[in-house]
Amino acid sequence: MDIRSLNAAQNYAGARPATQADPDHSGMVQGLKASFQDFASTLKHSEQMSQTAMVGQADPHALVQALAQTELAVETAVIVRNKVVEAYQEILRMPV
C-alpha cells in the first residue's frame, strides 16, 4: 500500500464519525434549551423592571440597561430566525 492510499484511508476513517448521525443530540439540545431559557429570563427581567419603574421604585439606569438587553436579545432571535428561514428556502430550491 502506498503512502497516498494509506493517508486517504486514515482521513476517511477520521471523517466518518463526523458524517454519522448522533442519536443522542444531547449537546445540541442542551445548548438550545439554555439559549431559550436565557432569552425568556431576559424578557422576564425586563418586564419586571418596567413594572417597578412604572410605580417609581426602580433606578432609571437599571431600566435602560434591562431594555437594552431585551432589545439585543430580540434582535439576536430575529437574526437567527432569518438564517433558519433562509436555510430552509435554500433547501427547497435544491433539485430533487
Sign of the torsion angle spanned by Cα atoms 69, 72, 76, 81: positive
pLDDT value of residue 11 = 73
pLDDT value of residue 77 = 92
70-75 long-range Cβ contacts below 8 angstroms, 24+ apart: 70/42, 70/43, 70/46, 73/38, 73/39, 73/42, 73/43
pLDDT value of residue 15 = 67
What is the domain partition of the chain in residue ranges? Answer: 26-93
Per-residue model confidence as pLDDT tens for the chain (96 residues): 566 676 777 776 776 665 566 666 677 778 888 988 999 999 999 999 999 999 988 888 999 999 999 999 999 999 999 999 999 999 999 987
pLDDT value of residue 19 = 57
